[in-house]
């Protein structure tokens, strides 16, 4: 890997985009390496939680690489959009939690990358936006679909049509992020959250992700049936027995993912 680094410490994999001189803009190489990284992390038993972030002080990811975008024609733009979407779909469909640790600008494809992650946490200095219309295009890596599903159609259309940037406090207010930390505490705060997730039942986390992602695409009654089926599956696991025994015995649970 040359434009992404992966460091795994105590079951947390830190995936860092490493193009700080270009504000970590997503070029073809970054997308390829991200795809490859997540393919590996999905099956890596030493990893329980993944954190995605950008190198440097200034940016998480400042968007798709505009130098590459300007070369696209109609057919290649469609292919590029689908290829980027496929990478972000892989991230969203990860069976273990993926956190976006947004440390600066998360614009265009960077905002879309954060949207594909399961939980978004940000530093007070983070800024979000989908400024594509100012380039004469629309968001192409899922932004027009995931943003309205997350924050509602009205706020999403405001962001998509105006291209205006949103600061961390407003991102928290509209539900685009769920936690904001002072810049100096971002890493520690993210790590603490990751450790909390690691202490939970891994099979439960997996099924919770499935229930929310797949269930949201269903009518309510079908989604509730789906939830009940997954709830039933978990009742057959060793982890459930352990979780409940640990509670009753007033000790931390030792989940095995079985």
State the residues that interact with ligand COA by CB under 6 A: 22-23, 25, 62-67, 105, 107-109, 131-132, 135
Which one from 112, 185, 217, 221 is the annotated catalytic residue? Answer: 112
Q: Which is nearer to ligand COA, 67 or 154 (CB)?
A: 67
Residue 61 Cβ vs ligand COA, minimum distance, rounded to whole Å: 8
Task: Please give the Cα distance from 44 to 149 (Å, whole number).
Answer: 30
Q: Which is nearer to ligand COA, 26 or 172 (CB)?
A: 26
Which one from 132, 217, 227, 238 is the annotated catalytic residue? Answer: 132
To the query of whether residue 191 is one of the catalytic residues in this protein, the response is: no
The residue to which tokens 């798709």 are assigned = 64
To the query of whether residue 185 is one of the catalytic residues in this protein, the response is: no
Instruction: For residue 101, give the nearest of 127, 120, 87 by alpha carbon.
Output: 120
Residue 30 Cβ vs ligand COA, minimum distance, rounded to whole Å: 11
Q: Which is nearer to ligand COA, 47 or 69 (CB)?
A: 69
Tokens of 228: 């009940």
Task: Please give the Cα distance from 101 to 16 (Å, whole number).
Answer: 10
Q: Is 166 left (phi over 0), alpha (psi -120 to 50) or beta?
A: beta
The residue to which tokens 């992020």 are assigned = 177
Residue 136 Cβ vs ligand COA, minimum distance, rounded to whole Å: 10
Residue 67 Cβ vs ligand COA, minimum distance, rounded to whole Å: 5
- Beta pairing class for 105-107 and 127-129: parallel
Q: Which is nearer to ligand COA, 62 or 209 (CB)?
A: 62
Q: Which is nearer to ligand COA, 166 or 205 (CB)?
A: 166
Residue 104 Cβ vs ligand COA, minimum distance, rounded to whole Å: 8
Task: Please give the Cα distance from 103 to 168 (Å, whole number).
Answer: 10
Q: Which residues of 88-106 are buried (b: 16+ CB within 10 A; e: fewer)?
A: bebbbebebbbbbbbbbbb
Active site positions, annotated? 112, 132
């Amino acid at each position: 890997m040359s434009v992404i680094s992966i460091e795994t410490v105590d079951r947390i994999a830190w995936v860092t985009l490493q193009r700080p001189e270009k504000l970590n803009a997503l070029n073809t190489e970054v997308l390829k390496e991200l795809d490859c990284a997540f393919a590996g992390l999905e099956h890596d038993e030493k990893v329980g939680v993944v954190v995605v972030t950008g190198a440097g002080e200034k940016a998480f990811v400042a968007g798709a690489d505009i130098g590459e975008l300007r070369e696209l024609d109609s057919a290649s733009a469609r292919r590029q959009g689908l290829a980027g979407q496929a990478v972000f779909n892989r991230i969203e469909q990860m069976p273990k939690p993926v956190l976006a640790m947004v440390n600066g600008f998360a614009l265009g494809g960077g905002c879309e990358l954060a949207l594909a992650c399961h939980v978004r946490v940000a530093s007070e200095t983070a800024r979000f936006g989908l400024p594509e219309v100012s380039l004469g295009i629309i968001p192409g890596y899922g932004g027009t679909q995931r943003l309205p599903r997350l924050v509602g159609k009205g706020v999403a259309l405001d962001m998509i049509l105006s291209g205006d940037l949103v600061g961390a406090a407003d991102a928290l207010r509209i539900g685009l992020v769920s936690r904001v930390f002072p810049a100096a505490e971002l890493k520690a705060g993210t790590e603490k959250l990751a450790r909390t997730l690691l202490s939970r039942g891994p099979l439960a986390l997996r099924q919770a992700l499935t229930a929310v992602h797949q269930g949201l695409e269903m009518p309510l009654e079908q989604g509730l049936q789906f939830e009940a089926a997954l709830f039933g599956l978990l009742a057959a696991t060793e982890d459930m027995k352990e979780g409940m025994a640990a509670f009753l015995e007033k000790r931390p649970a030792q989940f095995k993912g079985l």
